Amino acid sequence: MTALLTLDNINAFYGSAHILHGLSLSVNAGERVALIGRNGVGKTTVVNTILGLAALKGGQIHLGKHALHKPRPYMAAQHGVVVVPQGRRIVANLSVEENLQLGAAVGRKGHWNVPEIYKLFPILQERAHTPGTALSGGQQQMLAVGRALMANPSLILLDEPTEGLAPVIVDQLARIFNQVAGQGTALLLIEQNMSLVVRVAERYCAMAKGSVVAQGRVENTRESLKDLETHVMV
């Protein structure tokens, strides 16, 4: 299999605070991987290290065959790895469609364009000229996912995509994530909602104290859900 993302023995810092300690994980083409663990173990720092927002001070990051020696926020998207950030970060003074167009700025060619995003999320077409921040929380999450897809990525990093959302919206997003993955886009799902994890992911990496401490297959069963929940107990 082709590895789209490889983190090898990563040590990352915010200032003098050492957050990631020898962390290693990988995501292969077409894979759906969940990164799980309780609050504060460093899950979002994994994303921030790839983007250069946390300081990489040891280990190696590869996006495909390309090594990121000094990561910067724009580099990942250039190599087909995009982020749906925690909190969505919709641009306030832009419409829904203008927010979507931001995702296409990287210039990668592929299946995803505005009409295809509207097929995936019809509500976004209905509200195309509405300010992005005027949408509901669930609709803003759809917009954030659509914006990421507009970059035609090989891999999407989804950072807590269901945080604060109603169960009916979580169910809808689960279907969307599986549909996107079924069309060939790999997913790294950073999530504490284990019912979503068992519906979407094929494999999990569990974090504790800045490192991956357990890995395994995910099965959509009650037993698998119970096992996964042991890794996110606060």
Count how many domains the chain has. 1
pLDDT of residue 222: 66
pLDDT of residue 221: 65
Token pair, residue 165, equals 């959302």
Q: Is residue 234 part of a domain?
A: no
Q: Who's near 115: CB < 8 A, 6+ residues apart? A: none
Burial 39-67 (b: 16+ CB within 10 A, else e): eebbbbbbbbbbbbebbbeebebbbbeee
pLDDT of residue 87: 81
Q: Is residue 69 part of a domain?
A: yes
pLDDT of residue 230: 76
Whole-structure pTM value:
0.92
Q: Is residue 134 part of a domain?
A: yes
Triad 91, 139, 51: Cα angle to 5° = 45
Parent domain of 200: 3-229
> Would you write out the chain's pLDDT as a tens digit for each of its 234 residues?
689 999 999 999 999 999 999 999 999 999 999 999 988 899 999 999 999 999 999 999 999 999 998 999 889 999 999 999 888 889 888 999 999 999 988 888 888 999 999 999 999 999 999 999 999 999 999 999 999 999 999 999 999 999 888 899 999 999 999 999 999 999 999 998 888 999 999 999 999 999 999 999 988 666 766 777 777 654
pLDDT of residue 74: 87
Q: CATH number, domain at 131? A: 3.40.50.300
Q: Is residue 155 part of a domain?
A: yes
Q: Is residue 160 part of a domain?
A: yes
Q: Which residue, chain included where needed, has tokens 């886009």?
A: 185
